[in-house]
Amino acid sequence: MGAQSGKDLLIKVDLTGNGQFETVAGLRATRISFNAESVDVTSLDSQGGWRELLAGAGMKSATLSGSGVFKDASTDERARQIFFDGETPAFQVIIPDFGTVEGPFQITAIEYAGTHNGEATYEVSLASAGVLSFEAA
């Protein structure tokens, strides 16, 4: 597999709750990060004094972030609604030639910015809010 184009890493939101996903408008940069807490079970009996971790324990989470040009599209309106209503709808993240991550996310931050002689921009941050699924490409 060769290098992938960054523009193909997409964040999509379920606009109506019926599984109809649409790419969040105007994004120029996107990022997904997976995290897993470790549970340290090291004791005086641990072989050679090496740390031991409990397999399968700990909390898993994912975060999404993106930034881009504000388009005032239907997805922007939906993002604002999700934020102000505190909803956790389904989102999809398309990772090119790798797969699709899907599950509930909460929008934790939206920032809007602009300069006198430039475009209006925005940044959005999301945190996983439940079980995520992965489907390989």
Tokens of 136: 């390989």
Asked: is 6-136 a CATH 4.10.410 domain? The reply is yes
Amino acid 12: pLDDT? 94
Amino acid 1: pLDDT? 62
Amino acid 46: pLDDT? 93
Per-residue pLDDT at 71 exceeds 90:
no
The tens digit of pLDDT for each residue in 41-54 reads: 999 999 998 999 99
Name residue 127's amino acid: A
What are the extents of the domains in the chain?
Answer: 6-136
Is 107:124 a contact under the CB 8 Å cutoff?
yes
The tens digit of pLDDT for each residue in 16-37 reads: 888 889 999 889 899 999 999 9
Of residues 1 and 106, more confidence is placed in 106
